Structure 1
Amino acid sequence: MITWSIAIACIIILFIWLDFWLGSKYFKKNAPVFSYETNLSDMELITEGKDFFDLLFNDLNKAKKSIRICFFIVGNDAISQEFFRILQDKAQSGIPVYLLMDWMGSLKVKRKYIQRLKKCGVKVKRGNKPMLPFLFYRLNRRNHRKIAIIDGQISYLGGFNVGKEYLGADPKLGHWKDYHIRLPHPSLAITMEKIFSYDWRREGQGLTNNYYTNTSDRNCALTITEAGQLELNIIEWINHATDSIMIGSPYFIPTKRVFSSLLAALERGVELTILVPKKADHPFVKAAALPFFKKILKHGGSVYYYNNGFYHTKVILIDHNWCDIGTANFDQRSFLYNQEINLIVNNKNLIRPIKHAISKDLSDSFLLTEQAIKQMPITIKINRVLSRLLRPFL
């Protein structure tokens, strides 16, 4: 009986491994190659949930031609209902409204709410539904893009989703700090409409590879990544740093290749600063980061714990004048599986508000030390061991 149990377990493990391996190959082969460059003259950084929802809902209410919106997480609470109500009202007024939600991230959205949206004329889809082939790979793949495009004129991208926790209403997490950007830029809005349309189409018509790159000399680049593309981008950015690297993320679980690049940067004298939340919204993520932090501290880098609520930003600042901001966390899920969208900005004036926000967040943080890691409770140390096995899935 034990022999049969072991044999069955081995077969299941082999099946899951093959599913991941073949799924990874398939999605890498079919991943879109996309980078759009333009000259950006203005962007608005949003760091508080109330400001985000006030601005977004105001723009949605003013929409005259079209609304295309995608969120990873949509909750089941008052702010989510207000969001749905606005979309329903705009659809009933005759405006084309498209809502795309990740299947896993929108599990809290009840079927009756989706039916009500559709009845009012809102086109609704849930992306990344689990299916064959590559079931287990798909279960770990998320549409993590959080974008909104209104009238082909205004667009949003960043870290906020739709739910009360983003207003700081979760008592466990408290104040919610995030970075989202509002872009009053028609060229970028039209480009983001193309990205949205790509995600929308493939939920019903399969994959396509019809996107392009633009390599002219511009001050910003909009990139979409999935299936391992972001890992390559991150390594390239780190390798080009000559003075400093600042990484802000709710999670710090890099791949071996990315972490090796960070250690190499420290070896060549680049100043490395990591900012993560002291509080964790998942059981193992804090423990999973500690082995990396221990090595970073040993090599002369700095690690800060944000201590004014929950820190959910996704930002990388290179050499104080080049910035990546968007939807991707600094973890293996974003690097290897998720569908992400990021804006790379190479303009000192445009990134000045981001640098100011980072400085403010660092002032609300404290330095992590090697001694503090040694003195962490036994539960964290146990989770650290377990998290080694779970790193790709955290």
Structure 2
Amino acid sequence: MYLLKRRVLQLIGMFVLGIFLLLSLYSIDGLIPFLIGVGILAPLIVGWNILFDQVQPQAKLAWLLTVLFIPFLGALAWVLFGRTPKRHRRIKRTSSEIRMFRQAIEADRVETTNDVSDRFPLTRALEKMGATGADGHTATKLLVNGDEKYDAVLKDIEQATHHIHVQYYLFRTDEISLKIRDALIKRSNENVTVRFLYDGLGSQEISEEFLEPLRKSRVHVEAFDPVVHPLLVFNANFRNHQKLIVLDGRIAYTGGLNVGDEYLGRHKKLGFWRDTHLRVEGPLVRELQRLFIENWLYAGHEEESETWDLFADAKHLPEYFINEPQDANGATQLLVTSPGKDVTIRDGLMRLLMEAKESIWITTPYLIPPPELLAVLEVAGKSGIDVRIVVPGQGDEWFSFHATEYYFEQLLKRNIRIYKYNRHFIHAKTVLIDGKIALVGTANFDFRSMYLNHEMTIAQFETSSIGQLHDAFLKDFDESILVDWSMLRKKSNGKRFIEAFCHIFSPLL
């Protein structure tokens, strides 16, 4: 009912505005002063708000330049995409639900034991920065590319017996999407509880026609911050970029892959799509389950939506929060970032990078680092640490691709090696430090992931999958072109101008 009322009010507002503009057309003498007034006042008001906004100076300057050079469109773009990401205004019922849920599961949160912190002292530091507790009995398995990920997911969906929780930023309506959807429908028809959560903007191509078979099969469906229309998106800056599946509270998946045929190399332009995902078993799944349920409760604005006690009262808590230690080595820890002042992933990443003694290896589709992260990499490179970054040989987004290439010269000067992936596009979001510490998750190495999106990543300390990640990096290096000075000198002036232009506005990406 809440979403319905909000959409009705937005549609009424659109209708009233349209009528007003149409009536104004009959009086040009009245319309022109109105448009001039809007064209002057809107940039001034927006510019004033930008000036006192609590954002990075680079982002502030970029927005001011945008509003200065394209006043009306720049002001509109800031309203839609640039406002400071404050914590979401949840309706009273939703906020209360999440608070009661957190209280109910507090005793079931993962705690960092002394034996884990003694072996890996950094886990305590990350916990103080907002990460979950670190677990020493969680098993992880690296899944490279779409074939491995989707095969494993479909197999585990088929074997689920109690519940399946699915959350994606981008869920398409193509062949692999239908295959996973139909697998969820099949399990729901076999009395497995299925919950399906998708981002309202990232998965905007999902239609009622796609969702109707899910609902008919009793699959619970929710959209995270749904939008009425792509042209009327006033929460576009606050997207949920997380990818997460939890099955029976025992198995979880997260990483770079959404659901779409392009992740299987079927993109007409990009061709082969290189990516990385993670399969998780053990106590840390409880933290991933908690994250999904909090997102689910937030998305469920309707009065008939599920309540906290369906997950965490005395009867249901043991069904959703399982404690099954695995025969595993090392330790794992979850880091989550939300829009606003929560920068746990950025802080944790900086802390880990500063501990590097021998090597820092990174894969990212978008290399647009905030200044503080860039400074850490530059210091590491100049001090003799082996810093390597793998970026796409071909980009999926024109602006981000050229903004990324702007940094090449600056990084090469600091002895940082840049690899352009030669099999076209690489979408993995991974970090490997000294061959012993790894990060695998959904966060890119850019402003948006560090400050604006809901993101998640799993830190691993000497787990068995770190060896798999090390081998994946070596293969990526072999299949990439090492950028050198001769390549940079061949750039045309036009290419340099495009890169410099994109770099100016890179904090807005």
Of residues 405, 417, 430, the one that matches 1:315 is: 430
Higher helix share: 2
Q: Rate the CA distance shift 1:392–1:141 in 2: closer, same or farther, 3 A.
A: farther
Of residues 73, 83, 87, the one that matches 2:180 is: 83
Of residues 372, 376, 382, the one that matches 2:491 is: 376
* 8 Å contact from structure 1 (residues 290, 373) kept in 2: no
Q: Rate the CA distance shift 1:26–1:191 in 2: closer, same or farther, 3 A.
A: closer
Deviation at 1:11, TM superposition (A): 2.8
Residue 24 of structure 1 is matched in structure 2 by: 85
Q: 1:325-376: CA deviations, max 9, x gaps?
A: 1111111111111111111111164311110011011100011123322323
SS at match of 1:117: helix
Deviation at 1:14, TM superposition (A): 4.2
Of residues 369, 379, 399, the one that matches 1:254 is: 369
Asked if residue 201 in structure 1 is aligned to residue 297 in structure 2, the reply is yes
TM-score by length of 2: 0.69
Residue 243 of structure 2 is matched in structure 1 by: 146
Asked if residue 71 in structure 1 is aligned to residue 168 in structure 2, the reply is yes
Q: Rate the CA distance shift 1:283–1:237 in 2: closer, same or farther, 3 A.
A: same
Deviation at 1:390, TM superposition (A): 3.0
Deviation at 1:34, TM superposition (A): 4.2
* 8 Å contact from structure 1 (residues 37, 218) kept in 2: no
Q: Rate the CA distance shift 1:9–1:115 in 2: closer, same or farther, 3 A.
A: same
Tell me whether 168-177 or 43-52 shows the greater mean CA deviation: 43-52
1:1-394 superposed matches below 5 A: 4=37, 5-14=39-48, 23-26=84-87, 33-40=130-137, 42-129=139-226, 138-183=235-280, 185-204=281-300, 219-227=331-339, 228-347=343-462, 349-377=464-492, 380-394=495-509
Q: 1:281-308: CA deviations, max 9, x gaps?
A: 0011121122322111011110000101
Q: Tell me: higher relative CO, structure 1 or 2? Use CA pairs within 8 A at least 6 residues apart.
A: 1
Q: How many residues align?
A: 380
Deviation at 1:205, TM superposition (A): 6.0
Q: Rate the CA distance shift 1:346–1:302 in 2: closer, same or farther, 3 A.
A: same
* 8 Å contact from structure 2 (residues 274, 427) kept in 1: yes
Deviation at 1:9, TM superposition (A): 2.9
SS at match of 2:139: coil
C-alpha separation in 1, matches of 2:463 and 2:297 = 37
Tell me whether 305-314 or 16-25 shows the greater mean CA deviation: 16-25
* 8 Å contact from structure 2 (residues 131, 344) kept in 1: no
TM-score by length of 1: 0.88
Q: Rate the CA distance shift 1:221–1:8 in 2: closer, same or farther, 3 A.
A: closer
Structure 1, unaligned runs of 5 or more: 209-216
Q: 1:32-78: CA deviations, max 9, x gaps?
A: 94413111463221112122111111111221110001111111211
* 8 Å contact from structure 2 (residues 138, 284) kept in 1: no
SS at match of 2:407: helix
